[in-house]
A and B are shown apart, each in its own frame.
Chain A
Protein backbone atom coordinates (compact mmCIF):
# COMPACT_ATOMS: atom_id res chain seq x y z
CA UNK A 1 0.00 0.00 0.00
CA UNK A 2 1.46 3.33 -0.97
CA UNK A 3 0.92 6.16 1.43
CA UNK A 4 -0.42 9.33 -0.08
CA UNK A 5 0.79 12.49 1.59
CA UNK A 6 -1.79 14.59 -0.12
CA UNK A 7 -4.38 16.18 2.16
CA UNK A 8 -7.56 14.16 2.24
CA UNK A 9 -10.45 16.14 3.66
CA UNK A 10 -12.88 14.55 6.06
CA UNK A 11 -16.34 15.60 4.97
CA UNK A 12 -19.63 15.10 6.78
CA UNK A 13 -22.72 15.19 4.59
CA UNK A 14 -26.19 15.79 5.99
CA UNK A 15 -28.42 14.43 3.23
CA UNK A 16 -32.17 14.72 2.89
CA UNK A 17 -33.90 11.33 2.86
CA UNK A 18 -36.14 12.27 -0.07
CA UNK A 19 -33.70 13.71 -2.57
CA UNK A 20 -29.93 13.70 -2.02
CA UNK A 21 -29.83 10.61 0.14
CA UNK A 22 -31.97 8.85 -2.47
CA UNK A 23 -29.44 10.12 -5.02
CA UNK A 24 -26.51 8.71 -3.05
CA UNK A 25 -28.41 5.47 -2.72
CA UNK A 26 -29.05 5.36 -6.45
CA UNK A 27 -25.35 6.00 -7.06
CA UNK A 28 -24.62 2.98 -4.91
CA UNK A 29 -27.17 0.77 -6.68
CA UNK A 30 -25.80 1.91 -10.03
CA UNK A 31 -22.29 1.07 -8.83
CA UNK A 32 -21.06 4.60 -9.46
CA UNK A 33 -18.00 5.22 -7.33
CA UNK A 34 -17.56 8.27 -5.17
CA UNK A 35 -14.71 9.06 -2.77
CA UNK A 36 -14.92 7.62 0.71
CA UNK A 37 -14.03 10.97 2.29
CA UNK A 38 -17.67 11.76 2.83
CA UNK A 39 -19.50 10.37 5.82
CA UNK A 40 -23.19 10.54 5.10
CA UNK A 41 -25.76 11.23 7.79
CA UNK A 42 -29.34 10.74 6.63
CA UNK A 43 -31.83 13.30 7.87
CA UNK A 44 -35.52 13.35 7.13
CA UNK A 45 -35.24 16.91 5.79
CA UNK A 46 -32.29 19.27 5.40
CA UNK A 47 -34.41 21.72 7.38
CA UNK A 48 -33.82 19.45 10.35
CA UNK A 49 -30.12 20.29 10.39
CA UNK A 50 -29.35 22.71 13.17
CA UNK A 51 -26.36 25.01 13.58
CA UNK A 52 -25.28 22.93 16.57
CA UNK A 53 -25.08 19.78 14.40
CA UNK A 54 -22.67 21.58 12.12
CA UNK A 55 -20.57 22.93 15.00
CA UNK A 56 -20.49 19.47 16.58
CA UNK A 57 -19.29 17.91 13.32
CA UNK A 58 -16.48 20.45 13.06
CA UNK A 59 -15.60 19.83 16.70
CA UNK A 60 -15.38 16.09 16.06
CA UNK A 61 -12.84 16.73 13.31
CA UNK A 62 -14.71 17.37 10.08
CA UNK A 63 -12.87 19.54 7.55
CA UNK A 64 -16.00 20.35 5.62
CA UNK A 65 -19.75 19.94 5.93
CA UNK A 66 -22.21 19.33 3.12
CA UNK A 67 -25.86 20.02 3.77
CA UNK A 68 -27.83 18.79 0.84
CA UNK A 69 -31.53 18.65 0.18
Chain B
Protein backbone atom coordinates (compact mmCIF):
# COMPACT_ATOMS: atom_id res chain seq x y z
CA UNK B 1 0.00 0.00 0.00
CA UNK B 2 2.60 2.56 1.11
CA UNK B 3 1.95 6.13 0.14
CA UNK B 4 -0.21 5.31 -2.87
CA UNK B 5 -3.51 7.12 -3.21
CA UNK B 6 -6.84 5.31 -2.95
CA UNK B 7 -9.24 5.63 -5.89
CA UNK B 8 -12.82 4.42 -6.18
CA UNK B 9 -14.83 4.22 -9.40
CA UNK B 10 -18.56 3.85 -9.25
CA UNK B 11 -21.30 3.60 -11.86
CA UNK B 12 -24.85 4.74 -11.11
CA UNK B 13 -27.59 5.60 -13.66
CA UNK B 14 -25.54 5.69 -16.83
CA UNK B 15 -24.73 3.57 -19.86
CA UNK B 16 -21.25 2.39 -18.90
CA UNK B 17 -19.59 4.48 -21.60
CA UNK B 18 -17.70 6.40 -18.93
CA UNK B 19 -16.19 3.14 -17.70
CA UNK B 20 -15.03 2.44 -21.25
CA UNK B 21 -13.70 5.99 -21.52
CA UNK B 22 -11.63 5.37 -18.39
CA UNK B 23 -9.97 2.45 -20.15
CA UNK B 24 -9.65 4.49 -23.36
CA UNK B 25 -6.78 6.39 -21.81
CA UNK B 26 -4.80 3.35 -22.99
CA UNK B 27 -1.35 2.90 -21.48
CA UNK B 28 -1.99 5.83 -19.12
CA UNK B 29 -4.12 3.43 -17.09
CA UNK B 30 -0.79 1.95 -15.99
CA UNK B 31 0.14 5.36 -14.58
CA UNK B 32 -3.14 5.30 -12.68
CA UNK B 33 -2.27 1.85 -11.29
CA UNK B 34 1.17 3.20 -10.38
CA UNK B 35 -0.36 6.19 -8.65
CA UNK B 36 -3.23 4.63 -6.80
CA UNK B 37 -4.79 1.58 -5.25
CA UNK B 38 -8.24 0.97 -6.58
CA UNK B 39 -10.52 0.22 -3.66
CA UNK B 40 -13.83 -0.05 -5.51
CA UNK B 41 -14.58 -0.59 -9.19
CA UNK B 42 -17.56 -2.92 -9.54
CA UNK B 43 -17.30 -3.33 -13.32
CA UNK B 44 -13.68 -4.45 -13.26
CA UNK B 45 -12.75 -5.72 -9.83
CA UNK B 46 -14.27 -7.70 -7.01
CA UNK B 47 -14.85 -5.55 -3.98
CA UNK B 48 -17.86 -5.53 -1.70
CA UNK B 49 -19.75 -2.54 -0.38
CA UNK B 50 -18.80 -3.84 3.08
CA UNK B 51 -15.14 -3.14 2.31
CA UNK B 52 -16.03 0.51 1.87
CA UNK B 53 -18.34 0.58 4.88
CA UNK B 54 -15.52 -0.73 7.08
CA UNK B 55 -13.15 2.05 6.03
CA UNK B 56 -12.41 5.13 8.09
CA UNK B 57 -13.83 8.41 6.83
CA UNK B 58 -11.71 10.16 4.19
CA UNK B 59 -9.83 6.91 3.52
CA UNK B 60 -10.46 7.22 -0.22
CA UNK B 61 -8.53 10.05 -1.84
CA UNK B 62 -10.68 10.38 -4.95
CA UNK B 63 -14.02 8.82 -5.89
CA UNK B 64 -14.98 9.04 -9.55
CA UNK B 65 -18.73 8.62 -9.80
CA UNK B 66 -20.35 8.35 -13.21
CA UNK B 67 -24.09 8.29 -13.76
CA UNK B 68 -27.11 10.14 -12.46
CA UNK B 69 -29.00 9.13 -9.31
CA UNK B 70 -32.40 7.58 -9.86
CA UNK B 71 -32.86 4.92 -7.18
CA UNK B 72 -32.17 4.32 -3.50
CA UNK B 73 -29.17 2.05 -4.03
CA UNK B 74 -27.39 4.65 -6.13
CA UNK B 75 -28.11 7.32 -3.54
CA UNK B 76 -26.90 5.07 -0.71
CA UNK B 77 -23.58 4.28 -2.38
CA UNK B 78 -23.05 7.88 -3.47
CA UNK B 79 -23.58 9.00 0.13
CA UNK B 80 -21.30 6.24 1.40
CA UNK B 81 -18.53 7.20 -1.01
CA UNK B 82 -18.94 10.84 -0.05
CA UNK B 83 -18.43 9.94 3.60
CA UNK B 84 -15.31 7.94 2.89
CA UNK B 85 -13.74 10.24 0.27
CA UNK B 86 -11.66 13.37 0.44
CA UNK B 87 -12.57 14.33 -3.12
CA UNK B 88 -15.56 13.35 -5.26
CA UNK B 89 -15.41 13.85 -9.02
CA UNK B 90 -18.67 13.90 -10.97
CA UNK B 91 -17.53 11.92 -13.98
CA UNK B 92 -19.43 12.37 -17.22
CA UNK B 93 -22.56 14.15 -18.35
CA UNK B 94 -24.99 12.11 -16.21
CA UNK B 95 -23.20 12.80 -12.93
CA UNK B 96 -22.59 16.46 -13.85
CA UNK B 97 -25.96 17.42 -15.36
CA UNK B 98 -28.28 14.41 -15.33
CA UNK B 99 -27.37 13.22 -18.81
CA UNK B 100 -29.59 11.11 -21.01
CA UNK B 101 -31.29 9.41 -18.01
CA UNK B 102 -32.56 12.82 -16.90
CA UNK B 103 -34.82 12.92 -19.96
CA UNK B 104 -36.89 10.68 -17.69
CA UNK B 105 -37.77 13.90 -15.87
CA UNK B 106 -40.17 14.65 -18.73
CA UNK B 107 -42.15 11.72 -17.25
CA UNK B 108 -42.64 10.21 -13.81
CA UNK B 109 -42.12 6.78 -12.30
CA UNK B 110 -45.58 5.46 -13.20
CA UNK B 111 -45.30 6.52 -16.83
CA UNK B 112 -41.84 5.00 -17.15
CA UNK B 113 -42.94 1.69 -15.57
CA UNK B 114 -46.02 1.58 -17.80
CA UNK B 115 -43.89 2.07 -20.90
CA UNK B 116 -41.04 -0.23 -19.90
CA UNK B 117 -42.98 -3.09 -18.31
CA UNK B 118 -46.37 -3.00 -20.05
CA UNK B 119 -46.68 -0.99 -23.27
CA UNK B 120 -43.53 -1.87 -25.18
CA UNK B 121 -44.34 -4.28 -27.99
CA UNK B 122 -41.73 -6.83 -26.98
CA UNK B 123 -43.05 -7.03 -23.40
CA UNK B 124 -45.12 -10.02 -22.39
CA UNK B 125 -46.49 -9.16 -18.97
CA UNK B 126 -50.16 -10.25 -18.82
CA UNK B 127 -50.40 -9.80 -15.04
CA UNK B 128 -49.04 -6.24 -15.22
CA UNK B 129 -46.32 -7.04 -12.73
CA UNK B 130 -44.30 -3.95 -11.90
CA UNK B 131 -41.12 -3.72 -9.82
CA UNK B 132 -41.95 -3.27 -6.15
CA UNK B 133 -39.34 -2.48 -3.49
CA UNK B 134 -40.52 -5.33 -1.25
CA UNK B 135 -41.84 -8.76 -2.22
CA UNK B 136 -42.89 -11.55 0.14
CA UNK B 137 -41.78 -15.01 -0.90
CA UNK B 138 -41.85 -18.32 0.99
CA UNK B 139 -38.24 -17.82 2.09
CA UNK B 140 -38.85 -14.33 3.42
CA UNK B 141 -38.87 -10.78 2.15
CA UNK B 142 -37.02 -9.76 -1.00
CA UNK B 143 -36.06 -6.16 -1.55
CA UNK B 144 -34.85 -4.21 -4.56
CA UNK B 145 -33.86 -0.55 -4.72
CA UNK B 146 -36.73 1.90 -4.96
CA UNK B 147 -37.07 3.86 -8.19
CA UNK B 148 -37.46 7.66 -7.91
CA UNK B 149 -39.84 9.86 -9.88
CA UNK B 150 -36.97 12.22 -10.55
CA UNK B 151 -33.46 11.75 -11.88
CA UNK B 152 -30.90 13.77 -9.91
CA UNK B 153 -27.47 14.97 -10.86
CA UNK B 154 -24.82 13.96 -8.35
CA UNK B 155 -24.49 17.33 -6.60
CA UNK B 156 -28.22 17.46 -5.94
CA UNK B 157 -27.58 14.80 -3.30
CA UNK B 158 -23.95 14.94 -2.23
CA UNK B 159 -21.20 17.52 -2.25
CA UNK B 160 -19.00 17.31 -5.34
CA UNK B 161 -15.51 18.83 -5.66
CA UNK B 162 -14.86 18.55 -9.41
CA UNK B 163 -16.83 18.08 -12.58
CA UNK B 164 -15.57 16.20 -15.59
CA UNK B 165 -18.37 16.60 -18.13
CA UNK B 166 -18.92 14.88 -21.46
CA UNK B 167 -20.63 11.83 -22.81
CA UNK B 168 -18.12 10.44 -22.22
CA UNK B 169 -15.39 12.85 -21.03
CA UNK B 170 -12.63 13.03 -23.63
CA UNK B 171 -9.51 11.00 -22.88
CA UNK B 172 -7.46 14.23 -22.93
CA UNK B 173 -9.53 15.65 -20.09
CA UNK B 174 -9.40 12.41 -18.11
CA UNK B 175 -5.63 12.38 -18.45
CA UNK B 176 -5.52 16.05 -17.47
CA UNK B 177 -7.56 15.30 -14.35
CA UNK B 178 -5.43 12.29 -13.37
CA UNK B 179 -2.23 14.28 -13.92
CA UNK B 180 -3.58 17.12 -11.80
CA UNK B 181 -4.29 14.63 -9.02
CA UNK B 182 -0.86 12.97 -9.43
CA UNK B 183 0.98 16.29 -9.28
CA UNK B 184 -1.23 17.61 -6.49
CA UNK B 185 -2.07 20.50 -8.79
CA UNK B 186 -5.86 20.52 -8.52
CA UNK B 187 -7.87 23.56 -9.56
CA UNK B 188 -10.14 25.37 -7.06
CA UNK B 189 -12.96 23.25 -5.63
CA UNK B 190 -16.06 23.43 -7.80
CA UNK B 191 -14.09 23.64 -11.05
CA UNK B 192 -15.36 22.11 -14.24
CA UNK B 193 -12.49 20.33 -15.93
CA UNK B 194 -13.16 21.47 -19.49
CA UNK B 195 -12.84 24.62 -21.57
CA UNK B 196 -14.30 27.94 -20.41
CA UNK B 197 -15.47 28.65 -23.95
CA UNK B 198 -18.06 27.04 -26.18
CA UNK B 199 -17.74 24.23 -28.68
CA UNK B 200 -18.05 26.83 -31.49
CA UNK B 201 -14.75 28.27 -30.29
CA UNK B 202 -13.03 24.94 -31.01
CA UNK B 203 -14.92 24.21 -34.22
CA UNK B 204 -13.04 25.02 -37.43
CA UNK B 205 -16.12 25.31 -39.61
CA UNK B 206 -16.63 28.57 -41.43
CA UNK B 207 -19.19 30.76 -39.72
CA UNK B 208 -21.07 33.30 -41.79
CA UNK B 209 -24.49 34.82 -41.37
CA UNK B 210 -27.01 32.39 -39.97
CA UNK B 211 -30.29 32.39 -41.86
CA UNK B 212 -32.30 29.23 -41.81
CA UNK B 213 -35.45 28.50 -43.79
CA UNK B 214 -35.68 24.83 -42.91
CA UNK B 215 -34.37 22.63 -40.09
CA UNK B 216 -33.18 19.23 -41.17
CA UNK B 217 -31.60 16.21 -39.58
CA UNK B 218 -28.07 15.23 -40.60
CA UNK B 219 -29.17 12.25 -42.71
CA UNK B 220 -31.48 14.46 -44.77
CA UNK B 221 -28.68 16.76 -45.89
CA UNK B 222 -25.62 16.39 -48.05
CA UNK B 223 -23.51 18.11 -45.41
CA UNK B 224 -21.06 20.78 -46.54
CA UNK B 225 -17.89 19.82 -44.62
CA UNK B 226 -16.63 23.42 -44.39
CA UNK B 227 -19.69 25.41 -43.34
CA UNK B 228 -21.22 25.86 -39.87
CA UNK B 229 -23.80 23.12 -39.35
CA UNK B 230 -26.40 25.46 -37.87
CA UNK B 231 -26.19 27.57 -41.03
CA UNK B 232 -27.07 24.42 -42.96
CA UNK B 233 -30.24 24.00 -40.92
CA UNK B 234 -28.87 21.23 -38.74
CA UNK B 235 -29.50 21.86 -35.05
CA UNK B 236 -26.06 22.01 -33.51
CA UNK B 237 -25.86 22.66 -29.78
CA UNK B 238 -22.29 23.98 -29.91
CA UNK B 239 -23.18 27.60 -29.25
CA UNK B 240 -24.57 26.89 -25.76
CA UNK B 241 -22.24 24.04 -24.84
CA UNK B 242 -18.94 24.02 -22.98
CA UNK B 243 -15.97 23.07 -25.10
CA UNK B 244 -13.02 20.94 -24.15
CA UNK B 245 -13.98 18.08 -26.43
CA UNK B 246 -12.08 19.52 -29.38
CA UNK B 247 -15.36 19.79 -31.33
CA UNK B 248 -15.08 16.12 -32.26
CA UNK B 249 -18.68 15.77 -33.47
CA UNK B 250 -18.87 18.78 -35.82
CA UNK B 251 -15.48 17.76 -37.23
CA UNK B 252 -17.06 14.55 -38.55
CA UNK B 253 -20.23 16.26 -39.84
CA UNK B 254 -22.34 15.44 -36.82
CA UNK B 255 -23.92 18.30 -34.89
CA UNK B 256 -22.93 18.94 -31.28
CA UNK B 257 -25.44 17.26 -28.99
CA UNK B 258 -24.58 19.36 -25.96
CA UNK B 259 -23.03 16.70 -23.74
CA UNK B 260 -20.53 19.01 -21.98
CA UNK B 261 -23.37 21.06 -20.54
CA UNK B 262 -23.75 24.83 -20.33
CA UNK B 263 -20.80 27.18 -19.97
CA UNK B 264 -20.38 28.92 -16.63
CA UNK B 265 -22.04 32.02 -18.14
CA UNK B 266 -25.22 30.18 -19.08
CA UNK B 267 -27.98 29.54 -16.54
CA UNK B 268 -30.01 27.12 -18.62
CA UNK B 269 -28.56 25.33 -21.61
CA UNK B 270 -31.89 24.46 -23.23
CA UNK B 271 -33.25 27.99 -22.93
CA UNK B 272 -30.04 29.36 -24.40
CA UNK B 273 -30.25 26.93 -27.29
CA UNK B 274 -33.86 27.81 -27.87
CA UNK B 275 -32.82 31.43 -27.98
CA UNK B 276 -30.00 30.69 -30.45
CA UNK B 277 -32.13 28.54 -32.72
CA UNK B 278 -35.05 30.98 -32.68
CA UNK B 279 -32.76 33.82 -33.70
CA UNK B 280 -31.51 32.11 -36.88
CA UNK B 281 -34.97 31.53 -38.35
CA UNK B 282 -35.10 33.62 -41.50
CA UNK B 283 -38.65 34.88 -41.70
CA UNK B 284 -40.85 37.73 -40.52
CA UNK B 285 -44.08 35.89 -41.15
CA UNK B 286 -45.68 34.32 -38.07
CA UNK B 287 -47.11 31.36 -39.96
CA UNK B 288 -43.89 30.63 -41.78
CA UNK B 289 -41.94 30.86 -38.51
CA UNK B 290 -44.33 28.37 -36.91
CA UNK B 291 -43.90 26.05 -39.89
CA UNK B 292 -40.10 26.25 -39.75
CA UNK B 293 -40.12 25.65 -35.99
CA UNK B 294 -42.26 22.55 -36.50
CA UNK B 295 -39.31 20.95 -38.31
CA UNK B 296 -37.60 20.59 -34.95
CA UNK B 297 -38.45 17.12 -33.75
CA UNK B 298 -38.71 16.69 -29.99
CA UNK B 299 -37.49 20.17 -28.96
CA UNK B 300 -37.40 19.23 -25.26
CA UNK B 301 -35.22 16.21 -25.94
CA UNK B 302 -33.05 18.18 -28.35
CA UNK B 303 -32.39 21.24 -26.25
CA UNK B 304 -32.18 19.46 -22.91
CA UNK B 305 -30.72 16.20 -24.18
CA UNK B 306 -28.06 15.93 -21.48
CA UNK B 307 -29.20 18.31 -18.82
CA UNK B 308 -32.76 18.12 -17.50
CA UNK B 309 -31.51 17.67 -13.92
CA UNK B 310 -29.37 20.77 -14.36
CA UNK B 311 -32.04 22.91 -16.01
CA UNK B 312 -34.25 25.56 -14.47
CA UNK B 313 -37.20 23.39 -15.46
CA UNK B 314 -35.81 20.41 -13.49
CA UNK B 315 -38.71 18.17 -14.42
CA UNK B 316 -42.28 17.86 -15.56
CA UNK B 317 -44.68 18.90 -12.83
CA UNK B 318 -45.58 16.03 -10.52
CA UNK B 319 -49.15 15.27 -9.57
Q: Which residues of A contact B (CB under 8 A)?
A: 50-52, 54-56, 58-59
Cβ contacts A to B, 26 pairs, < 8 Å: A50-B271, A50-B272, A50-B275, A51-B268, A51-B271, A51-B272, A51-B274, A51-B275, A52-B266, A52-B267, A52-B268, A52-B271, A52-B272, A52-B275, A52-B312, A54-B271, A55-B267, A55-B268, A55-B271, A55-B312, A55-B313, A56-B267, A56-B268, A56-B312, A58-B312, A59-B312
Q: How many residues of B contact A (CB 8 A)?
A: 9
Beyond the given pairs A52-B312, A55-B312, A56-B268, 4 more chain A to chain B contacts, judged by CB atoms under 8 angstroms and listed by A's residue number, are A50-B272, A51-B274, A52-B267, A52-B271
In the bound complex, CA of A55 to CA of B274 (Å): 12
**Residues from chain A with Cβ under 8 Å of B267 in the complex:** 52, 55-56
**Residues from chain A with Cβ under 8 Å of B275 in the complex:** 50-52
**Residues from chain B with Cβ under 8 Å of A54 in the complex:** 271
- Most B CB contacts (10 A, CB to CB) among A50, A51, A52, A59 go to A52
In the bound complex, CA of A52 to CA of B262 (Å): 12
**Residues from chain A with Cβ under 8 Å of B268 in the complex:** 51-52, 55-56
A57 to chain B: closest residue by CB: B312
**Residues from chain A with Cβ under 8 Å of B271 in the complex:** 50-52, 54-55
**Which label, helix, strand, loop or mixed, suits the secondary structure of the B interface?**
loop
- Most A CB contacts (10 A, CB to CB) among B266, B312, B313 go to B312
**Which label, helix, strand, loop or mixed, suits the secondary structure of the A interface?**
helix
Instruction: How many A-B residue pairs have C-beta atoms within 8 angstroms? Tell me.
Output: 26
**Residues from chain B with Cβ under 8 Å of A56 in the complex:** 267-268, 312
**Can you list, as one digit per residue, whether each of B256-273 has a CB less than 8 Å from chain A (1) or not (0)?**
000000000011100110
B314 to chain A: closest residue by CB: A59
* Minimum C-beta distance from A65 to chain B (A): 13
**Residues from chain B with Cβ under 8 Å of A50 in the complex:** 271-272, 275
* Minimum C-beta distance from B301 to chain A (A): 16
In the bound complex, CA of A29 to CA of B228 (Å): 50
In the bound complex, CA of A54 to CA of B272 (Å): 12
* Minimum C-beta distance from B309 to chain A (A): 15
In the bound complex, CA of A52 to CA of B313 (Å): 10
* Minimum C-beta distance from A20 to chain B (A): 21
**Residues from chain A with Cβ under 8 Å of B266 in the complex:** 52
* Minimum C-beta distance from A59 to chain B (A): 5
**Residues from chain A with Cβ under 8 Å of B313 in the complex:** 55
**Can you list, as one digit per residue, whether each of B116-153 has a CB less than 8 Å from chain A (1) or not (0)?**
00000000000000000000000000000000000000
**Residues from chain A with Cβ under 8 Å of B272 in the complex:** 50-52
* Minimum C-beta distance from B313 to chain A (A): 7
* Minimum C-beta distance from B154 to chain A (A): 21
In the bound complex, CA of A54 to CA of B312 (Å): 10
A59 to chain B: closest residue by CB: B312
In the bound complex, CA of A56 to CA of B274 (Å): 15
In the bound complex, CA of A69 to CA of B268 (Å): 24
In the bound complex, CA of A52 to CA of B266 (Å): 9
* Minimum C-beta distance from A37 to chain B (A): 23
In chain B, positions 233-290 with a C-beta closer than 8 Å to chain A are 266-268, 271-272, 274-275
In the bound complex, CA of A28 to CA of B313 (Å): 35
In the bound complex, CA of A36 to CA of B313 (Å): 27
In the bound complex, CA of A51 to CA of B269 (Å): 10
A-B residue pairs, 6 tightest by C-beta: A52-B271, A51-B271, A55-B312, A52-B268, A50-B275, A51-B274
- Most A CB contacts (10 A, CB to CB) among B271, B272, B274 go to B271
* Minimum C-beta distance from A62 to chain B (A): 12
In the bound complex, CA of A59 to CA of B271 (Å): 13
